[in-house]
Structure 1
Amino acid sequence: MASTFFEKLILLSLFLLVSPLLAKAVSPWKTQLHSSPTAKIQAEKLIRGLNLFPRHAANEGVNEDLTNEPSKIVEKQFKFPVIDAPGPSIQNFAHHAGYYKLPHSKSARMFYFFFESRNSKKDPVVIWLTGGPGCSSELALFYENGPFHLAKNLSLLWNDYGWDKASNILFVDQPIGTGFSYTSDDTDIRHDENGVSNDLYDFLQAFFKQHPQYVKNDFYITGESYAGHYIPAFAIRVHQGNKAKRGIHINLKGFAIGNGLTNPEIQYQAYPDFALNSSLISQSDYVNIKKLVPSCVQAIKSCGSDGGDSCVDSYEICNNVFNQILRIAGTVNYYDIRKQCEGDMCYDFSDVETFLNLKSVREALGVGDIDFVSCSSVVYEAMLMDWMRNFEVGIPSLLEDGIKVLIYAGEYDLICNWLGET
């Protein structure tokens, strides 16, 4: 079963390789964490509006105040409105959206979508994590491997390459502060993979408690870009929980990383060579940029040994290598060097923000008045001390214990290029 799913995953991934690896950019403009003075009131409205009970029809809420319930999944089935339909027509999906109150937090709620397989409920359960850090998994949902794509007129189109054709798939907004996930207390913001992976593990335990029919299904962790950090750390956390026989046993079979940032010390050294081989820079440019690499490598080593501010310093030193290439390459799209960069993030994601902020859509999902933002610079900056950490080191032990690994990369991605992953 495990190998069969990976074969399907490789085929479906071919579609993604010609799609923008969209979630690696950080928004250059500041976004405020969902912690305004009215956040608590909004949260209470949000929780009360969700449907916990199957006897209620999709999109109907219940008037039960669950804000004081500790560490509980609050989930509802939903139907998305079809925006271009002349009447009250809807796209009907047997799918779910919900919040999970994180137990090791003051007031954090993690948002997720869950789409049941179009094929069989016995298909593997897959979790998708978009990178950034701080970019919402809804970007992948609507532009990459979700059940449908979002058209320019905001109508929904079936995605023939959606991973829900071969899996029961979760899209999670994480770390806290990403997408629809929120908190009213800034101390809930995570700064490293220890906090991120523990939150995801707690969520997964609650999810399988809510959906016990999927506990025995094969389970895979997938994602792209900065998920090259998230995924190995999360896989290790799940594997440790299983070995310690704590909570629900999660049937982890493998994980897949697309154009991921996993070992920065190796990957940052590959930038000049990839840029030269791709004709983005000249030979003389290459020689000058290569001179910046040793200080980057040393800074990363210092981050690994000293931590703290040295990790922020290494981020600034090493990104000078990448920025020098962009200065020469001009407006090239660093996710697909065959294209030109358009807009602040090289792609325009305003349609998904418009769609998810529509009143009818927010009501369908039960997210109240919380605004959706594609990428949070607050979360991005909070994770700077994590950026230059090496998460390749934990993978060999997972392989030795029989956990399968798939690493795939798009040929024309500069920012997390294939050369640095080989």
Structure 2
Amino acid sequence: MASLSLIKISFALSLFFFLLPSSSSSRLSFTTIKNHHQSLTTNYAKSETERLIRSFNLFPEDLVNIIDNEPGFTPGSLVEKKFSFLGSSGPSVEDLGHHAGYYSLPHSKAARLFYYFFESRTSKDDPVIIWLTGGPGCSSAIALFYENGPFKLTNNLSLVWNEYGWDKVSNIIFVDQPTGTGFSYTSDEDDIRTDEAGVSNDLYDFLQAFYKEHPQFSKNEFYITGESYAGHYIPALASRIHKGNNAKEGIPINLKGFAIGNGLTNPGVQYPAYTDYALDKGLITEEDRDSINKLIPDCEEAAKTCQTDGGDTCSDAYQTCQAIFENILSITGNINYYDIRKQCEGPLCYDFSNAVTFLNDETVKTALGVKNLKFVSCSDTVHRAMLNDEMKNLEVDIPSLLEDGIRMLVYAGEEDLICNWLGNSKWVHAMEWSGQKGFESATTVKFVVDGAAAGDLTSHEALSFLKIYKAGHMVPMDQPKVALQMLKSWTGGNLAA
């Protein structure tokens, strides 16, 4: 693959993910962790986010993009331009169909969402998909560079074609959201979202503007994808689109399905699964499991209270349930909780700092049209604003989507601890819908790629669950060929064929 140097680039990218963890590399006593939830403070939430940012070696200079007195805000406007990474030696801008721009959110005071849109390398009739990164508050740019975008970023800040980019089988959109993430920004702090209603309404408004700008794609099938905290975003957006379509709001969106990768969707079910997963993987002993499991009843009760009462009961629930995860980490030490096959040495669980350097280069920023903004890889401000959203159960709207034939794929790399496959499997199996018994009795088969077993697949009607071998939290990074085949097969309606 030919290298595409930074000097020749006439435009650039952005993407990231993740559930922000709280952890410690030193062993903590059971009593200390059990009582830890009683001291939730703003400073504690801030330290959690800062630890995540350090663990990916990101070190953003700003916590959020808020610009004072930004002039010229026109609600509902979309400004987009084409770009090319290939310079004069490659295909023209028109040939590539690469776009980026800003959308001024209509239900905001001054918020602008930044996005990238890559037309399919194969056929413009391929499905349109949107990728959402988690956090909350992490940019979709890292996924673009390190997971499933058209290009990958090398150590010398050059770009190479990604052989397994998802634009090979789809027209793909990457969005920096919620407001304040990545290159998305505002001039009013009131635009920082605090719940899934705000997040999903913004994304729905963006998609309406996107299809108005690109009407030729409105007939294509549409799918929502993402990972980690997008386990919240994705069901919320799918429900919002479905409701909009049923109410005949605006431009109909041809929603066919949504896929959640290593997601956090139903915390009240997923947190209690931590100990069984950790025991099965040899991370803790049976004695450890039995001791930590004493925290589970309080966690389950707190999660239920959050769902019914909301507000600060949700941040209390987070602290109560997080004690389970903390206790495991006090035993495992420096393990990389996104991929337990690896150690997290010091602050460098992963090193994505090249993306931060690349996107903060003045040449790149000028090409992107992002003015004097600093690229915010993971926003502490956005994360803390969503603190009362984390323990919400986003499974509640999924059954009605399945009943109407909208397909859901939940996939998970088997080596991820923080959003592990077992917890995801448990909430999927526990979900009440008309096909629940059929899903429970369905035969699990091997998902085969190029003649080799790549995972375990269970499917019934509109629902599929796929455990992927030899992958951690970021399946498209760890198993790019498998992830691409998964997307192609699923959107083609033959995942279980």
Indicate the TM-score class for this superposition, using the shorter chain for normalisation: 0.7 to 0.9
**Which residue is equivalent to 2:196?**
193
Structure 2 length-normalised TM:
0.72
Structure 1: gaps of 5 or more residues = 1-20, 45-66, 83-87
SS in structure 1 at match of 2:148: coil
**Which residue is equivalent to 1:18?**
none
Q: Does 2:370 match 1:340?
A: no
Q: Does 2:426 match 1:395?
A: no
Distance in 1 between residues matched to 2:165 and 2:90, nearest whole Å: 20
One-letter amino acid matched to 2:85 = F
Distance in 1 between residues matched to 2:91 and 2:146, nearest whole Å: 18
SS in structure 2 at match of 1:319: helix
The structure-2 alpha-carbon separation of the partners of 1:71 and 1:389, relative to structure 1 and needing over 3 Å to count, comes to: same
Distance in 2 between residues matched to 1:272 and 1:69, nearest whole Å: 50
SS in structure 2 at match of 1:98: strand
Q: CA deviation at 1:91?
A: 8.0
For 1:360, which of 359, 363, 386 is the aligned residue? 363
Summarize the alignment of residues 22-421 of structure 1 with structure 2, pairs less than 5 Å apart. Answer: 23-25=18-20, 26-28=49-51, 31-37=62-68, 40=70, 67-80=72-85, 93-344=96-347, 346-421=349-424
Distance in 2 between residues matched to 1:343 and 1:89, nearest whole Å: 42
Q: Is the 8 A contact 1:80 1:364 kept in 2?
A: no
Q: Is the 8 A contact 2:18 2:138 kept in 1?
A: yes
Distance in 2 between residues matched to 1:104 and 1:391, nearest whole Å: 23
SS in structure 1 at match of 2:325: helix
SS in structure 2 at match of 1:157: strand
One-letter amino acid matched to 1:209 = K
One-letter amino acid matched to 1:170 = I
Structure 2: gaps of 5 or more residues = 1-15, 21-48, 54-59, 426-497
SS in structure 1 at match of 2:236: helix
Structure 1 length-normalised TM:
0.85
Q: CA deviation at 1:262?
A: 0.5
Q: Is the 8 A contact 1:22 1:335 kept in 2?
A: no
CA-to-partner distance for each residue in 1:97-156, whole Å, 9 max, x for gaps?
100000111100000000010001111100000111111111110010100110000100
SS in structure 1 at match of 2:358: helix
Q: Is the 8 A contact 1:80 1:91 kept in 2?
A: no
One-letter amino acid matched to 1:156 = L
Q: Is the 8 A contact 1:27 1:344 kept in 2?
A: no
Q: Is the 8 A contact 1:127 1:171 kept in 2?
A: yes
Distance in 2 between residues matched to 1:290 and 1:35, nearest whole Å: 43
Q: Is the 8 A contact 2:118 2:173 kept in 1?
A: yes
Q: CA deviation at 1:284?
A: 1.7
Distance in 1 between residues matched to 2:340 and 2:280, nearest whole Å: 12
One-letter amino acid matched to 2:312 = D
Q: CA deviation at 1:287?
A: 1.4
CA RMSD of aligned residues (A): 1.7
Distance in 2 between residues matched to 1:333 and 1:308, nearest whole Å: 32
One-letter amino acid matched to 1:420 = G
Distance in 1 between residues matched to 2:302 and 2:175, nearest whole Å: 32
SS in structure 2 at match of 1:287: helix
The structure-2 alpha-carbon separation of the partners of 1:91 and 1:27, relative to structure 1 and needing over 3 Å to count, comes to: farther
Q: Is the 8 A contact 1:22 1:347 kept in 2?
A: no
The structure-2 alpha-carbon separation of the partners of 1:308 and 1:119, relative to structure 1 and needing over 3 Å to count, comes to: same
Q: Is the 8 A contact 1:80 1:361 kept in 2?
A: no
**Which residue is equivalent to 1:58?**
none
Q: Is the 8 A contact 1:126 1:221 kept in 2?
A: yes
Aligned residues: 371
Q: Is the 8 A contact 2:134 2:230 kept in 1?
A: yes
Distance in 1 between residues matched to 2:250 and 2:356, nearest whole Å: 37
